[in-house]
Chains A and B, each alone.
Chain A
Amino acid sequence: GENVEQHPSTLSVQEGDSAVIKCTYSDSASNYFPWYKQELGKRPQLIIDIRSNVGEKKDQRIAVTLNKTAKHFSLHITETQPEDSAVYFCASSLDTGFQKLVFGTGTRLLVSP
Chain B
Amino acid sequence: SQTIHQWPATLVQPVGSPLSLECTVEGTSNPNLYWYRQAAGRGLQLLFYSVGIGQISSEVPQNLSASRPQDRQFILSSKKLLLSDSGFYLCAWRSADTQYFGPGTRLTVL
Contacts and interface: CB of A to CB of B under 8 A. Distances in A.
Interface stretch (A11-19, A45-53, A56-64, A68-76): A45-53
A3 to B, nearest CB: 12
Contacts of B103: 42-43
A103 B43 contact: yes
Tier of interface size on chain A: 20 to 34
Interface residues of B, number: 18
Given A43-B102, A43-B103, A106-B43, A32 B97 contact: yes
Contacts, number: 44
A98 B51 CA distance: 8
A89 B97 CA distance: 17
Given A98-B51, A104-B43, A45 B97 contact: no
B35 interface: no
Contacts of B42: 105-106
Identify which of A43, A45, A99 gathers the most chain B CB atoms within 10 Å of its CB: A43
Identify which of B42, B51, B98 gathers the most chain A CB atoms within 10 Å of its CB: B98
Interface of B: 32, 42-44, 46, 49, 51, 90, 94, 97-104, 106
Q: Which 10 A-B pairs have the closest CB atoms?
A: A43-B101, A103-B44, A105-B43, A103-B43, A106-B43, A44-B101, A43-B104, A43-B103, A32-B97, A46-B98
13 contacts: A32-B97, A34-B97, A41-B106, A46-B100, A89-B43, A98-B51, A99-B32, A99-B94, A103-B43, A103-B44, A105-B43, A106-B42, A106-B43
Interface of A: 32, 34, 41-46, 49, 51, 89, 95, 98-106
